[in-house]
Amino acid sequence: MSPCAPGRWLLALALAALLAGCSLPPLEGRSESRALSAAEARETPLGRAVGDLAAPRPGLTGVHTLEDPREAFAARVQMAQLAERTLDVQYYIWRDDITGHLLLEALRAAADRGVRVRLLLDDYGHAGLDAELAALDAHPDVEVRLFNPFPFRAFKPLGFITDFSRANRRMHNKSFTADNAITILGGRNVGDEYFGATDGVLFADLDVLAMGPAVAQVSSAFDAYWVSASSYPIASLVAPPPAEVLAAIRQRTALVERSEPAATYKQAVRELPCYGSLVRKDYSLVWAPAHLVVDDPSKGLALAQPEQLLLHHMAEAVGVPARSLDLVSPYFVPTDAGTDYFAGLARTGVRVRILTNSLAATDVLVVHSGYARHRQPLLAAGVALYELRPDPREQAAKAARRDEGPRMPGGSGSSGSSLHAKTFGVDMERVFVGSFNFDPRSAKLNTELGLVIDSPELAGAIAHVFEVRAPRSSWELRLDPGSGGLRWVDGSGRSVAVEPMTSWWQRAAVRLLEPLPIDWML
- Active-site residue (options: 130, 205, 422, 519): 422
Look up 179 and say whether it is catalytic: yes
Strand arrangement, sheet containing 182-186: 231-233, 142-147, 116-125, 86-93, 175-178, 182-186, 207-211, 61-66, 286-288
Which of 44, 26, 22 lies closest to 35 in space, CA to CA?
44
Q: How many CB atoms lie within 10 A of CB 263?
A: 11
CB 60 within 8 A of CB 288: yes
Residue among 123, 291, 420, 519 flagged as catalytic? 420
**Ramachandran category for residue 122: left, alpha or beta (phi over 0 → left; psi -120 to 50 → alpha):** beta
Active site residue 299: no
Say how far apart CA 264 and CA 259 lie, in whole Å.
Answer: 9
Known active-site residue 313:
no
d(CA 334, CA 420): 17
Nearest CA among 439, 422, 423 for reference residue 337 = 439
Contact 211, 181 (CB under 8 A): yes
For residue 139, what are the contacts with CB-CB under 8 A and spacing of at least 6?
Answer: 108, 111, 112, 117
- Burial label for 312, CB within 10 Å (0-12, 13-18, 19+), is middle
Of 97, 205, 363, 427, catalytic: 427
Residue of 179, 205, 207, 439 marked active site: 179
Catalytic residue among 64, 126, 174, 291: 174
Q: Is 156 among the residues known to form the active site?
A: no
| Distance in angstroms (rounded) separating the CA atoms of residues 158 and 148 | 14
Q: Which of 172, 291, 299, 313 is catalytic?
A: 172
Q: d(Cα 291, Cα 319) in Å, to the nearest integer?
A: 13
Euclidean distance between CA atoms 368 and 493, whole angstroms: 24
Which residues belong to the active site?
172, 174, 179, 420, 422, 427
